[in-house]
Amino acid sequence: MQNALLKIIRLFLFIVITQLPYTTSAQSLRHHLAKADSLFIQKRYTQSLDLYTSVLNQGQYTPAMFLKMAFIEEGLNHAPQAMYYLNLYYLVTQDERAAIKIKEFASAKKWEGYEFDDPERFMGLYHRYHTLIALSLMAVCAVILFFLVLQRVRTQKVSIGLWIILVIFSTMLAVHINFPVQYRTGIVAGSNTYLMSGPSAGASVVQIIDEGHRVRIMGKQDVWLKVQWRDKEAYIRQDRLLPVVL
């Protein structure tokens, strides 16, 4: 039982420690964001967009950054990209004003797929509070671990019930951090995009759609993404889609 407890302690410490580089990385990118914001204020939009894109590619972002990127892309007449960043903004904020803007934008362009149903709203809230949930799970694990160690020191015994609860919450924490659940959608990035009946260029064509439409991503196979379009399943090459995922 003592060896099992030590293994759980090591697992918990490993989960916590593996999150430290992320924090360090976030701090190291602050000056890039500040520089990009400065360039945006100076109306040097393309340069600021390049910096914002670099920050995003490293897994860092702010909601305001997405709005600025959408503004720049719209000014460059890159409508699908502007819609993509607006969707990312909505994903992290659940701002209903953004949802209204997105729907108006899509309606003007006659783009489909922007209904924002309940599962998407729920997953948006889950994503928004992802860090808070992780910290809460860590706190619970730490409290349970404290009582297990205290019990071991005082009585030389460990409660099997507490040990099982610690295993459960540690597993939940590991899954939450490494395999976050997402309601995935994507923006079609190119005109004359082929929706195929299977994950192959030799499959039959389901439909040819234009850029800007939004589809739900159901899965992936090689370079093909399985999507839902008008209540039908089809496949699209991943380089023809901008996944609204962080």
Interatomic CA distance for residues 56 and 68, integer angstroms: 13
What average pLDDT does the segment 149-161 reach? 82
Q: Which helix (H) or strand (E) holds 190?
A: none
**Which of 57-66, 154-163, 202-211 comes out lowest in average pLDDT?**
154-163
What average pLDDT does the segment 163-185 reach? 80
Instruction: Given CATH 1.10.10.60, say whether it is the number of domain 185-243.
Output: no
Q: Are 101 and 132 in contact, with CB atoms under 8 Å apart?
A: no
**Which pair of structure tokens corresponds to residue 234?**
């089809």
**Which of 1-5, 37-41, 53-57 comes out lowest in average pLDDT?**
1-5
Q: What is the pLDDT of residues 61-94, one digit of tens each?
A: 899 999 999 999 999 999 999 999 999 999 888 8
Q: Judge whether residue 119 has pLDDT over 80.
A: no
Q: Judge whether residue 24 has pLDDT over 50.
A: no
Q: What confidence tier does 132 reach under pLDDT thresholds 50, 70, 90? A: confident
As a 3-state breakdown, the chain gives helix, strand, coil percent values, each rounded to 5, of: 60, 15, 25
**Which strands, in side-by-side order, build the sheet including 214-221?**
205-209, 193-196, 232-237, 224-229, 214-221, 185-188, 241-243
Question: How confident is the prediction for the chain on average, in pLDDT?
Answer: 83
Q: Which helix (H) or strand (E) holds 221?
A: strand 214-221
Q: Using alpha carbons only, what angle is made at residue 46 by residues 45 and 51, rounded to the nearest 5 degrees?
A: 95
